[in-house]
């Protein structure tokens, strides 16, 4: 699909959604941009280790603990994740 045609389709879509929503066009655009941003993978870099030895890695977007390693997406914010070797993760002792 050509860029101009894609932009026209997107404009029509946003305007039709805005007509049936309490949200403004700007609010809808902001939520779309935020959604697109979470689809670009971010590298997982940090983690925490508790006194009992349990270790968790943190989502690079929302900074919450992930349920397990090598998830494709954060289960809380939906951020797409990219994983280095687990040895490269910087763990903070709590």
Q: Candidates 44, 58, 74, 81: give the one binding Zn ion (CB under 5 A).
A: 74
Q: Candidates 77, 84, 86, 88: give the one binding Zn ion (CB under 5 A).
A: 77
81 belongs to the binding site for Zn ion (CB under 5 A):
no
Check: CB of residue 57 under 8 Å from CB of residue 51.
no
Task: Name, in order, each residue with C-beta under 8 angstroms of 9's C-beta and a sequence gap of 6 or more.
Answer: 1
65 belongs to the binding site for Zn ion (CB under 5 A):
no
Check: CB of residue 42 under 8 Å from CB of residue 53.
no
- Which string of x and - marks every residue 42-61 that binds Zn ion (by CB under 5 A)? -----------------x-x
Q: How far is CA 68 from the centre of its chain?
A: 16
DSSP designation for 33: H
Beta carbon nearer to Zn ion, 18 or 60: 60
Given the rule CB under 5 A, which residues bind Zn ion? 59, 61-62, 74, 76-77, 79
């Amino acid at each position: 699909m050509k860029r101009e045609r894609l932009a026209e389709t997107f404009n029509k879509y946003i305007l039709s959604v805005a007509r049936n929503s309490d949200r403004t066009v700007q609010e809808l655009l902001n939520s779309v941009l935020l959604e697109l941003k979470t689809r670009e993978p971010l590298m997982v870099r940090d983690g925490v280790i508790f006194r009992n030895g349990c270790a968790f890695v943190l989502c690079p977007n929302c900074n919450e603990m992930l349920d397990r390693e090598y998830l494709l997406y954060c289960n809380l914010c939906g951020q797409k994740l990219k994983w280095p070797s687990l040895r490269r993760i910087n763990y903070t002792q709590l």
